[in-house]
Amino acid sequence: MTKLKNLFLILPLIIFSLYSCSKSDPTPETVPVALEGKWQYIKTGTITNNQEVLTDYQHASGCTKDYIEIQAGGVIKSHEFDNPNCQETINTGTWTRNNNSITVTYPSQPTLNGEILELTNTTLKTKFMNPGITDVEVLTRIP
């Protein structure tokens, strides 16, 4: 009788533990992060001999920080602010993306072919190959 009584006490615990572990939660689908938006320069550098060297981006003192604006439809705008009067210069070009490859073209400048190394809701890290040098840029998304 005691064994039967113990079974009635333990059986609900076993059933509950099996039920609660019977099915794992489905993995949520990852939503691709949009490249479009405003991105402020944070770091810049190079890759030489497979070694990445980054330094803080040098914004003009006392001015709005330089940023790029990547728009839908393939438009990119580079906003740079220079001293002595914090004059804004806007260069407008085009961009295309194919998976992690990105191509940027500004008028009267050579086309830049690059790679997106990191893209999150807050960080964009790219590298662009120029003759003899590989440039790296780290940007943060701004509102």
Mean pLDDT (the chain) is 84
User: pLDDT-derived band of residue 111, with 50, 70 and 90 as boundaries?
Assistant: very high
| Cβ atoms of residues 133 and 46 within 8 Å | yes
pLDDT in tens, 58-106: 999 999 999 999 999 999 999 999 977 999 999 999 999 999 999 999 9
Question: What SS3 state is found at 4?
Answer: helix
Q: In whole angstroms, give the CA distance from residue 43 to residue 51.
A: 15
Mind listing the domains of the chain with CATH numbers?
A: 37-142 (2.40.128.280)
